Structure 1
Amino acid sequence: MSKLAELGETIKAALPGAVTEHDIAFDQLTLGVEASRIVDVVKHLRDDPTLRFVNITDVTAVDYPERDKRFDVVYHFLSPTLNARIRLRAEADETTQVPSIIDVFPGADWFERETYDLYGVIFTGHPDMRRLLTDYGFDGHPLRKDFPLTGFVEVRYDDEEKRVVYEPVRLNQEFRKFDFLSPWEGADYPLPGDEKAQAEPKA
């Protein structure tokens, strides 16, 4: 058994019910964690003298809209003591309230705000759960896979009103319909160079 596999088994045994599984990919250990127990897990990883995962690298999410629990909330930590990285993965849906780890790792502050802003994951116990990257009146969460590529509103500066205005997205006609007359859209006449695509007759 590899050292990472042993580490995964050790952590899982120390946190029954909190750590549900472990996996190794690309020389990195991933632990499946119950979302409601995330604070217990990160405290153990930080405070256990044999682990000392004291550096938080990132908190983010991955969206799988076809699942009932569509989000994997993902945490990355580093242990200088072990010279190892670890990933935690907790499943959540649009209404799951994931406990904030900000009391254990204050550096998670903006990571959790960004994950809320871009995916809509709700972190309870966070002292300032506001959007971080999008505007205050932004509608939706732009890294969800079902978020429209054009968004819902567009922003421009109105020189007459001397302020920024918000308007519903309008697509120009040429972006919605194609006349197929462009050479790049399937012209029905030969184009220069087409003759090079003809297979040479075999002798």
Structure 2
Amino acid sequence: MATLHSAPRFTIIDGLKSALSETLGDHLLGAYEEHGELLLTVKRDSVEDVLRMLRDEHKYQQLMEIAGVDYPSRAERFEVVYMLLSLTTNSRIMVKCSASEDTPVPTVTTLWPNAGWLEREVFDMYGVLFAGNSDLRRILTDYGFEGHPFRKDFPLTGYHELRYSEDEKRVVYEPVELAQDLRQFDFMSPWEGADYVLPGDEKADTSPVDEPKTTEKPSDTGAGAKTDKQASEKVTAGAPAEKDGGEEAPAPEPTEDQPARPKRKGKTSDTAEATEPKKKRAPAKRKPAAAKKDPK
């Protein structure tokens, strides 16, 4: 039964290893297949020529990624890995070379423009130099950053930390100060068990007592009719709360002084009239003055 997978499948070309080995000739140091892909190890000075032949003669048109690897124990501690994709044959291959801090790798910006950004990333993280790259500067870390974070000997906490200073009104760099030491966590599977004794597990094989205590009758546990009788009695008998309680108990004294309020005038039914604004009356119309009679 065929297994369906969401990831695209790449063609494994029969005879590709021998064909590319013959083409590369003296530039090739080794070739082997792993995880369905072909890995080619070439000479450092021949990287540009090798990738040009793979692009033009074997149709590996796209440079997908440039990655770095650090092996501190080696004389040339770094490996630069180029990942190529052929759209024509639906095939991927990887080409890698070794380098050190003082041995630059030829740039491949002459073959793919996107190699400029990828080479800057490898330079920033590992410190690998690329001869011929006209814009080889850091791309991920900050200006003035010291060291290369992906090296195996680079500390996990780094050397400096930055913060915004309210006093100086700018970003300042300071040596790293941890409130506690960096803890090393154990990622071993709890189902498999650790190879060492965890704190507290040394007591697991020895019982705290020779014979565990058992209860064979209720009196051993403190239960029984006598205990039930004591539990039914009122424990709070004679307590101040029960003495002062009851329907006829006087009201408690006030706990704070409050001035007496004056007696309310009127009734509660007058509240609406007292709170609503009074309606203004229209001015009364004046009657015309009567004409004065002439005494004559």
- CA separation in 1, counterparts of 2:182 and 2:72? 26
The reply to whether residue 12 of structure 1 matches residue 21 of structure 2 is yes
Partner of 2:52: 43
Unaligned runs of 5+ in 1: 178-184, 199-203
- CA separation in 1, counterparts of 2:150 and 2:182? 23
User: Per the alignment, do residues 57 and 20 of structure 1 end up closer, same or farther by CA in structure 2, a change over 3 Å counting?
Assistant: same
In the TM superposition, what whole-angstrom CA distance separates every residue of 1:16-39 from its partner, at most 9, and x where no partner exists? 221111110010000001111000
Q: Within 5 Å, give how 1:71-150 maps onto structure 2.
A: 71-150=78-157
Q: Within 5 Å, give how 1:144-163 maps onto structure 2.
A: 144-163=151-170
- CA separation in 2, counterparts of 1:65 and 1:5? 36
- CA separation in 2, counterparts of 1:167 and 1:187? 40
Which structure has the highest strand share of the two?
1
CA RMSD of aligned residues (A): 2.3
* Higher relative contact order (Cα pairs below 8 Å, separated by 6+ residues): 1
**TM-score, structure 2 length as denominator?**
0.57
The reply to whether residue 169 of structure 1 matches residue 173 of structure 2 is no
1:16 aligned counterpart, secondary structure: helix
In the TM superposition, what whole-angstrom CA distance separates every residue of 1:100-134 from its partner, at most 9, and x where no partner exists? 00001111111000000000010000010000000
- After the TM superposition, which parts of structure 1 deviate over 6 Å for at least 4 consecutive aligned residues? none
Preserved contact between residue 4 and residue 29 of structure 1 (Cα < 8 Å): no
How far off its partner does 1:69 sit? 1.1
Report the count of equivalent residues. 181
- CA separation in 2, counterparts of 1:140 and 1:101? 24
- CA separation in 2, counterparts of 1:138 and 1:65? 21
What is the percent sequence identity of the aligned residues?
43
1:106 aligned counterpart, secondary structure: coil
In the TM superposition, what whole-angstrom CA distance separates every residue of 1:54-90 from its partner, at most 9, and x where no partner exists? 0110001111111111111100010011110010010
How far off its partner does 1:186 sit? 3.8
